[in-house]
Each structure stands twice: as structure tokens, then as C-alpha cells.
Amino acid sequence: MLPCRFSYFGRMVTILAVVVCVLAGLFLSSPARAAGFPQKGKAVQMLVGFAAGGSTDVGARILASGLEKELGTAVVVVNKPGASSQIAYTALTQARPDGYTIGNTNFPSAVVSYLDPVRKATYTRKNFEPLALHVVDPGLFAVKTGSPFKTLREVVDAAKANPKKVTISTTGIQSDEHFAILQLQKMTGAQFAMVHFSQGSAPALTAILGGKIDVFCGNVGDLLAQFKSGEVRILGIMDNEETPFYPSVKTFEAQGYRLYGSSSRGFSAPAGTPKEIVNILSGAIKKAVATDEHKKRMKEMGLTLRYLDPTQYTKYWDEYEATLKELLPLTKE
């Protein structure tokens, strides 16, 4: 019963407000439905935490166009670069878990962003629902072709004999190269002088070709041009199998160092996305990845396809996180 002192007008307004609120509540709280996902005409947003045109972005866009065919609805890539993807991850974990928002989750940036307290991330591992691993870019060591280092062993031995004298490049603090080198140091007792090139691999490449740095540490996708022209000698691949991009280059494992480092790119949905939707999305990614067209494009970009389904990806994530957790304090030294 409305108080008498409210005018007629006031009462009408109040009733109207209540009606609007109820309607809004109805609109705002519709639960995620698996049946009929994805609805035709409703686009799926793919959040990418790196700028347009970069390697991650290109890979994501290629997948997005494949996904569109599999899902039957538009897949729109939205770039939200910044803070090594933290902005994109924040947006992803805060999005509605209805399957219409998925995002790129790259390692190590995703894991570092919530493990490192300095980053003040608003999310943790629990806020992600892994969908699929897409590509893996294994790490490698390389030297300039005229360099005195002919094998991986020579590099490690030199770093052991002369601590902090062998210079090696990374693509930034807490990059996958940084972690890989820390692991190698732990494993062998070698000590490298790490030089961080956070502006990408181009300045690092210049430094190695110009003879300013002894060893280039990067990923398989970085040296396609230089390998072809014979300007670099790749000493080892940090993977459990050799890479087709650089035939005749042995793995670290084969040379006695059980080091597996890589930067990898996968996709996740916000936690709470219903299981059926997760399976639909992951299945679609699997099919998109298996097409010849997709494989061809990934090969041209120098990216190594390695699909893992949600369960496998979760396991991979957990293992990766455990490794990083140990190494993280070392990156602060």
C-alpha cells in the first residue's frame, strides 16, 4: 500500500520502475542453455590478448575462420592487447559463461599473470575452463653460422666454465625463453648472462647476426628465414620430437638435456561454462584444426599444431603451472 503522500504521478512512476526492474531482471538472468548452442546469428567472441597482426593474432584469426564453418555462426576476433594479455584474460574470466565468449590462453603469459602476486590478477586458475590446446612453438638455441660454438654441449660447457659470460637472448622477463634457460641452469649448473629483448625477436635476431650476443634463444617460428639462408646454426629443439621445420636438428633430449620449453597457445572459456557447450566448442576446434587448409596455413606461419582436448589440456596446464611455480622466484633475481 503506497503512502498517501505520494502523488498520483509518483505512484505511476514507481509502478513503472518496478515493472522495468522485473523485466530487466528477466532479461539479465537468462541461464546459459546448451540446447541450440550456438544459436544462428549470434556471434562467438574470441578474445585475443595481443595486437592485430602479431603471430598469436594471426593464428587465432586463421582458427576463427575455420571455427565459423564448424559452428555455423560468426566467430569474431576481438583484440584486447595489453599487460601481456592480462587485460584479455581479465575480460575472459569475467565474461558470461554461456559459450559465446572464448579467449586465447597463452603460456607462459596466462600462468605467470596469476601466479605472480605483483601482477595483481583478479583471477586464478579456477576461473578458466580449458577448451583446447592449439599450437605449440618449441624453444630452441641457435648461434650465428660462423660462431665457435658448434654443438649444444659446447655452449653449456662454456656457460659452466665461465659463469655469466655467455650471453643469451630472451624475449623478455618471464618469457618462455627465460623459464627455459632457468631450467637449464638448474639442471646443469651453467650460468648464462641473459639479455632480455622485450620488443620481440627482431632486435634479438639483429644482435645475434651482428655478433653482439653469443646465443639466440627463441622459438621454432622465429628463425624460418635465417635458417633458410644459412645464417644461423640451430643447436637444439626443446621438444620431445624433432621439428619438420628444421630437419636434422636434434632435440635437447637427444643431446642429453631433458629440457622441454615452449610457448603454447590454447583456447579457454570462462569457468562455469556448461560441459556440453565446452565439448561442442572443443569438438569444433578439433575439426577446424584437422582440415588441410588449416594445416597448410599453420605450416606457412611456422607454427606447430598440437591439438589437446579439454581433459588433456587441463593436465598439460596443471603440469606447466607446477613447473613455473618452482621457477618463478628465480626470475626475480
Partner 1 sequence: MDAIQNLFMGFTVALTPQNLLFAFLGSVLGTLIGVLPGIGPVAGVAMLIPLTFQMTPTGAIIMLTALFYGTQYGGTITSVLLNVPGEAASAITCIEGYEMAKQGRGGAALAIAAIGSFIGGTIATIALVLAAGPLTRWALEFGPVEFFALIMLGLSLLMGLAGKSMLKALMMGIFGMLLAMVGMDPVRGLPRFTFGRMELMDGIGFVPVIMGLFGLAEVLENAEKQFAQVFAAKMSSIIPSRKEIRDSVGPILRGTVIGTLLGLVPGMTGSASSFLSYIAERKVSKYPERFGTGVIEGVAGPETANNAHANGALIPLFTLGIPASPTVAVIMGAFMMHGLIPGPFLFKEHPDVAWGVIASFYVGNVILLILNLPLVGIWVKILKIPYGLLFGVILAFMVVGAYSVSNSAFDVLVMTLFGLIGYLLRKLDFPLAPIVLTLILGPMMERSLRQSLDMSQGSLGIFLQSPIALVLLALAALILIAPAFKLFRRGKGILN
Partner 2 sequence: MQRIYQAAALGFIGLSAFVVWESWNLEYYTTLGPGPGFFPLWLGVAMGGLSLVWLVRISGRSGMPKDVALFPQRAGIVRILSILAALVVMAGLMNLLGFQLMMFLFLVFLLMGLGRQAFWVTLVVALLGSVGLFHLFGGYLDVPLPVATVKLLANLGL
Residue 158 touches which of partner 2, partner 1, none (Cβ within 5-8 Å per kind): none
Tell which positions 19-38 bind partner 2, by CB under 8 A: 23-24, 27-28
Q: Which of 199, 240, 291, 311 binds partner 1 (CB under 8 A)?
A: 199
Residue 54 touches which of partner 1, partner 2, none (Cβ within 5-8 Å per kind): partner 1
Contacts 24+ apart (CB under 8 A), 182-186: 182/327, 182/330, 182/331, 183/259, 183/261, 183/323, 183/327, 184/156, 184/257, 184/259, 185/159, 186/327, 186/330
Q: Reduce the DSSP state of residue 50 to 3 states and report it.
A: coil
CB of residue 291 to partner 1, shortest distance in Å: 15
Tell which positions 42-61 bind partner 2, by CB under 8 A: 52
Calpha distance 141→235 (Å, rounded): 5
Query: Quick check: 73 and 39 in contact, CB under 8 A?
Result: yes
Burial class (CB in 10 A: 0-12, 13-18, 19+), 244: exposed
Q: Which of 43, 54, 242, 320 binds partner 1 (CB under 8 A)?
A: 54
Cα-based distances in Å from 252 to 78, 184, 234, 267, 319: 37, 10, 11, 28, 19
76 binds partner 2 (CB under 8 A): yes
Instruction: State which residue, 61 or 306, has the beta carbon closest to partner 1.
Output: 61
Chain positions contacting partner 1, by CB under 8 A = 51-55, 57-58, 61, 65, 78-84, 86-87, 90, 118-120, 164-165, 167, 172-174, 193-200, 202-203, 205-207, 209-213, 224-226, 228-229, 231, 297, 300-302, 331-332
Chain positions contacting partner 2, by CB under 8 A = 23-24, 27-28, 52, 76, 78
